[in-house]
Amino acid sequence: MRFFVPIALLVAWFAATSTGAIKSYQLASPQAVLVELNDLASHGLLWTDLGASVERVAIGFALAALLAIILGSLVGASRTAEKLLDPTLQAVRSVPSLAWVPLLLLWLGIGETAKIALVAIGAFFPVYVALASAIRNVDRKLVEVARVLGVGGVPFIARVLLPAALPQLLVGLRIGLTQAWLFLVAAELLGASSGLGFLLTDGQQIARTDEILVAILAFAICGKLSESGMRLLERRLVGWTDTVVPG
């Protein structure tokens, strides 16, 4: 059942391109995409671009997650930190993140740093917001158990707050990773000499829809793989929860 629509679309695509109803500069045929995929892969270009993109996402996401976990824990656990930091961070969050692009380009140029910074901006907020609210909303009743037992300070954070907040943190990380890919495309469209986004613009400039479709396919696979990886991690780490965490 679930494969019916995709197969129907594929057949329609094949029919429309092979009968000449749609020209190849408008939409390449499925077989042309396969040939291009093979071509790019065998010349190693696909792996170079894929590697460049994955590296940017990995570094940007890791930086964002680290910063978001530190700031989210602080703001969630301490009223003072919340008053001090949260209003500012919420104000920054209300700016559509792509609006930072011109500033980033001016400050950091069009090199790797600007791209990684943009990816990090995109990934930061879902993680930060999820963790801060999860820690703030940890069951007061569990907090009292720790208090009665005299468990406080760092042991309290490590043994009670963080494990209790872990399910929402993982959801935040999953959404953050999706955002990271989204912002990577934006960053690479703005000017890059490598990466899957570069394949997109390159394909556009030389009117090669097969190249564009290969890049889109690669993005789809990367997105799906990272999402599945995060869900696997969730199942492994927070199988103890009574209910499936929404999101």
Partner 1 sequence: MNAIAIQGLVKRYGAHTIFDGLDLDVAHGERLAVLGASGCGKSTLLRCIAGLESSDGGEIDVAGEIGYVFQEPRLFGWLDVERNVAFAARNSAERARVPEVLALVGLTAARAKLPKHLSGGMAQRTALARALVRKPEVLLFDEPLAALDALTRLELRASLREILIQAGATAVWVTHDVDDALTLATRTIVLQRAPNFVRAVEPAVGIDVGARRALLAALGISA
Q: In the complex, which residues of this chain contact partner 1 (CB under 8 A)?
A: 141-142, 144-145, 147-149, 151, 159-160, 163-164, 166, 238, 240-242
CB of 197 to partner 1, least distance (A): 40
CB of 244 to partner 1, least distance (A): 12
CB of 143 to partner 1, least distance (A): 10
CB of 169 to partner 1, least distance (A): 13
CA distance 110 to 190: 8
Residue type, 206: I
CB of 155 to partner 1, least distance (A): 10
User: What backbone phi and psi angles, to 5 degrees, belong to 109?
Assistant: 75, -170
CB of 83 to partner 1, least distance (A): 24
Residues counted in the chain: 247
CA-only gyration radius of the chain, Å: 22
Residue 191 falls in which region: left (phi positive, over 0), alpha (psi -120 to 50) or beta = left
Residue type, 192: A
Sheet strands (E) in 9-154 = none
> Nearest 5 degrees, angle CA 32-CA 33-CA 38?
100
Return the number of the residue (33 or 77) whose C-beta is nearest partner 1: 77
Return the number of the residue (11 or 142) whose C-beta is nearest partner 1: 142
Return the number of the residue (14 or 139) whose C-beta is nearest partner 1: 139
Token pair 């990272």: residue:
226
Return the number of the residue (2 or 141) whose C-beta is nearest partner 1: 141
CA distance 23 to 27: 6
CA distance 54 to 63: 14
Alpha-carbon separation of residue 24 from 121, 193, 214 (angstroms): 38, 25, 14
Return the number of the residue (49 or 234) whose C-beta is nearest partner 1: 234
Return the number of the residue (43 or 159) whose C-beta is nearest partner 1: 159
